């Protein structure tokens, strides 16, 4: 082929190229005609499904309406007609089963479960302000020595901080030694009392009594172990009695102060455990209880300060270190749906309900806390109702186009009758767990139990209803037990219980 092309004259080559271009144009034109013809056929076929078409739209962009059929300017598909008088089955939006399959629409039941919120905030380590000592001398004098200490030095309890020469002690101690030489016990007692009033310790007076030599230098020691946060003396200074020489702050245990948004203020409480991770020790978790919730909020950040105490063996944790703090609020049982099923419009919160007779309908709900991909429903749904967890935004748009009313919160279906509930209890699954008895009342036993994988429950302490006092008679606090229970809308109830090992 290449050899034949080379043998052509330039004029012949130009004719061949023009012929090729013309053929390409014809093929392209035919393809466009076929595409438009197919699109027109699709649009025409769509229009024949309705006696009266209101407008055409793209299901992926339902807010944009068109007066004429044709291809969508947004997607590679034909516009869909909106028919006058079009209704949806069972009072909702009706979707073709094939479209449901293609869009991947999934549903999930509203079910009771344990909500385990996990709130992560930032915090900073600080000195333990409840373990602070102010160092002051009992008498005034001259600073002779400071032992080379400086601020932020760490000292142990009893470590010497400063030596102070007290001139007036020398004369008083010599008088005391002279009185001791007289053998007059009354004068010696009065002289000893004077030394105490001058600020001498009992151990120093005993030393003078034993050695019969004056000691007019006092050594001031650290009253606690910790870091010297303030040091206000240097050799040669003159100090007076009661003057602050230094301040020592402890950091075992160390404080962790975390900034919690005020919107989460209800999630924290005294004694609540927290877990902290620090960049200085990757892979390690440090735990401790909340010991205080400070009474005021920060104006700039709108946060409250939560203070926890962390054990600090070896003093590895240093004040000023940054921490990520995980707060674990108290677990609670609640009606839950997948968080992705919730649609927030700005004015209200809705979910798309899957109707029993087919179709979908929007319903307004009131939500609570959210954790681990699940959202608490406070009102607007009944247990067992199915909500759309995937593709719900397309259904919501279709419902808006159809002009469907959103189901109000107060139109939730009534719960099943007492007879139905009785049957449900008899048919309920039972679960087995082990735990420790924490408390017993006439109608309830509180157990600290291990995980229940079948219910996705973690280890926790919670109450279980009993069938009466006779079921738990003979059990006492601290007993290790193995028990079976049922889980229903009314809460968990003990079916059988026995001491472990029996």
pLDDT surpasses 70 at 44? no
Same domain, 269 and 315: yes
pLDDT tens readout for residues 345-369: 777 888 888 877 567 778 889 888 7
Residues 296 and 343 placed together within one structural domain of the fold: no
* 195 touches 171 (CB < 8 A): no
Verify that 227 and 275 share a domain, yes or no: no
DSSP state of 471: G
Range ranked top by mean pLDDT from 4-18, 125-139, 421-435, 442-456? 125-139
For residue 487, what is the domain's CATH number? 2.40.50.320
Domain termination site, one of 387, 411, 435: 411
Task: Please indicate, yes or no, if residue 419 is contained in any of the structural domains.
Answer: no
**Sign of the CA dihedral with 42 first, then 44, 48, and 54 last:** positive
Q: Say what the pLDDT of residue 59 is.
A: 66
What's the number of domains the chain is made of? Answer: 5
- Dihedral pair phi/psi, residue 283, rounded to 5°: 85, -5
What is the CATH classification number for the domain harbouring 261? 2.40.30.170
pLDDT-wise least confident of 201-205, 325-329, 376-380: 325-329
Judged by average pLDDT, the poorest of 83-92, 249-258, 438-447 is 83-92
| pLDDT at residue number 155 | 93
Q: Tokens 């000292």 appear where?
A: 155
As separate numbers, helices (DSSP H) first and strands (DSSP E) second, the chain gives: 8, 29
416 in any annotated domain: no
In terms of domains, do 436 and 484 share one?
yes
Q: Which residues contact 349 (CB under 8 A, 6 or more apart)?
A: 342, 343, 364, 365, 366, 367
CA distance 369 to 385: 20
Residues 284 and 197 in one domain: no
* pLDDT value for 361: 79
Give residue 296's pLDDT. 87
> Domain ends where: 263, 298, 322?
322
Sign (positive/negative) of CA torsion 112, 398, 356, 406?
A: positive
Average pLDDT over residues 80-106: 58
Tens-place pLDDT, residues 415-451: 443 334 443 444 456 788 889 998 888 788 999 988 8
Q: For the beta carbon of residue 60, count every other beta carbon within 10 angstroms.
A: 12
Dist. CA 455–CA 431, nearest whole Å = 9
**Domain assignment present for 430:** yes
Is the same domain home to 227 and 297? no
Is the same domain home to 64 and 141? no
Determine what percent of the chain is predicted with pLDDT higher than 90.
Answer: 17
- Quote the domain boundaries for residue 305: 249-322
Q: Looking at the structure, do residues 141 and 215 belong to the same domain, yes or no? A: yes
127: in domain: no
Same domain, 446 and 379: no
* Same structural domain, 79 and 60: yes
d(CA 166, CA 201): 13
Helix axis angle for 185-197 and 202-211, nearest 10°, is 140
Interval 159-171 mean pLDDT: 90
**In a domain? residue 443:** yes
Judging by beta carbons within 10 Å of its beta carbon (0-12, 13-18, 19+), is residue 46 exposed, middle or buried?
Answer: middle
Asked if 245 and 135 count as a contact pair (C-beta separation under 8 A), the reply is: yes
- Average pLDDT (36-50) is 44
The pLDDT assigned to 102 comes to 56
- Would you say residue 377 lies in a domain? yes
- Residue 307 counted as domain residue: yes
What is d(CA 391, CA 107) in angstroms, rounded to the nearest whole number? Answer: 9
46 and 22 in a single domain? The answer is: yes
pLDDT, residue 94, reads 58
- More confidently predicted of 466 and 48: 466
Instruction: Convert the pLDDT of each residue in 452-480 to its tens digit.
Output: 877 767 788 888 888 888 888 888 888 88
Does residue 411 or residue 121 have the better pLDDT? 121
Tokens encoding 119? 């709130």
Q: Where are the beta strands (DSSP E) in 279-384?
A: 286-297, 303-310, 322-327, 332-338, 343-344, 349-354, 360-364, 366-371, 374-379
Asked whether the beta carbons of 254 and 192 are under 8 A apart, the reply is no
Q: Let me know if residue 212 belongs to a domain.
A: yes
- Out of 298, 322, 346, a domain closes at 322
Q: What pLDDT sits at residue 97? A: 56
Question: 154: domain CATH number?
Answer: 2.40.50.100
The answer to whether 255 and 126 are in contact (CB under 8 A) is yes
Confidence of residue 329 (pLDDT cuts 50, 70, 90): low
Mean of the per-residue pLDDT values for the chain?
78
Q: What CATH number did the domain enclosing 339 receive?
A: 2.40.420.20
- DSSP-based three-state secondary structure for 405: coil
State the DSSP H helix or E strand holding residue 221, giving kind and residue range, or none if neither. strand 217-221
Mean pLDDT of 291-297: 89
* Together in a domain, 273 and 226: no
């Amino acid at each position: 082929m290449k050899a034949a092309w080379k043998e052509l004259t330039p004029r012949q080559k130009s004719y061949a190229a023009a012929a090729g271009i013309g053929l390409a144009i014809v093929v392209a034109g035919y393809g466009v005609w076929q595409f438009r013809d197919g699109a027109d056929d699709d649009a025409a076929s769509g229009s024949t499904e309705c006696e009266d078409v209101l407008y055409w739209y793209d299901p992926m962009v339902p807010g944009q309406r068109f007066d004429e059929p044709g291809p969508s300017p947004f997607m590679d598909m034909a516009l869909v007609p909106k028919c006058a008088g079009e209704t949806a089955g069972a009072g909702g939006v009706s979707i073709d089963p094939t479209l449901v399959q293609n869009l991947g629409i999934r549903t999930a039941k509203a079910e009771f479960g344990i909500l385990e919120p996990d709130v992560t905030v930032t915090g900073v380590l600080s000195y333990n302000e409840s373990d602070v000592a102010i160092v002051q001398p009992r008498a005034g004098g001259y600073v002779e020595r400071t032992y080379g200490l400086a601020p932020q030095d760490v000292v142990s309890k009893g470590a010497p901080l400063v030596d102070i020469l007290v001139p007036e002690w020398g004369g008083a101690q010599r008088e005391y030694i002279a009185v001791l030489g007289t053998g007059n016990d009354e004068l010696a007692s009065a002289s000893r009392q004077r030394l105490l009033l001058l600020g001498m310790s009992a151990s120093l007076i005993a030393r003078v009594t034993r050695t019969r030599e004056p000691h007019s230098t006092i050594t001031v020691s650290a009253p606690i172990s910790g870091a010297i946060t303030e040091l206000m003396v240097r050799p040669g200074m003159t100090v007076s009695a009661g003057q602050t020489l230094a301040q020592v702050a402890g950091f075992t245990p160390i404080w962790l102060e975390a900034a919690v948004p005020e919107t989460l203020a209800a999630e924290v409480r005294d004694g609540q455990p927290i877990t902290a991770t620090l960049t200085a020790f990757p892979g390690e978790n440090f735990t401790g209880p909340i010991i205080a919730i400070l009474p005021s909020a920060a104006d700039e950040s709108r946060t409250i300060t939560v203070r926890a105490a962390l054990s600090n063996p070896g003093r590895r944790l240093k004040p000023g270190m940054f921490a990520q703090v995980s707060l674990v609020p108290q677990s609670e049982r609640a009606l839950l749906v997948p968080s992705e099923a919730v649609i927030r419009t700005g004015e209200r919160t809705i979910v798309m309900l899957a109707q029993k007779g087919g179709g979908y309908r929007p319903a307004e709900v009131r939500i609570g806390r959210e954790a681990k991909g699940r959202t608490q429903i406070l009102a607007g749904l009944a247990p067992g109702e199915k909500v759309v967890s995937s593709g719900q935004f397309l259904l919501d748009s279709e419902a808006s186009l159809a002009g469907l009313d959103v189901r109000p919160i107060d139109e939730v279906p009534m719960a099943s009758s007492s007879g139905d509930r009785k049957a449900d209890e008899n048919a309920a699954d039972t679960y087995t767990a082990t735990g420790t008895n924490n408390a017993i009342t006439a109608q309830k036993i509180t157990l600290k139990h291990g995980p229940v994988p079948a219910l996705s429950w973690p280890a926790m302490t919670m109450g279980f209803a009993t069938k009466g006092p006779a079921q738990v008679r003979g059990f006492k606090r601290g007993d290790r037990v193995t028990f079976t229970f049922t889980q229903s809308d009314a809460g968990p109830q003990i079916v059988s219980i026995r001491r472990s090992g029996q």
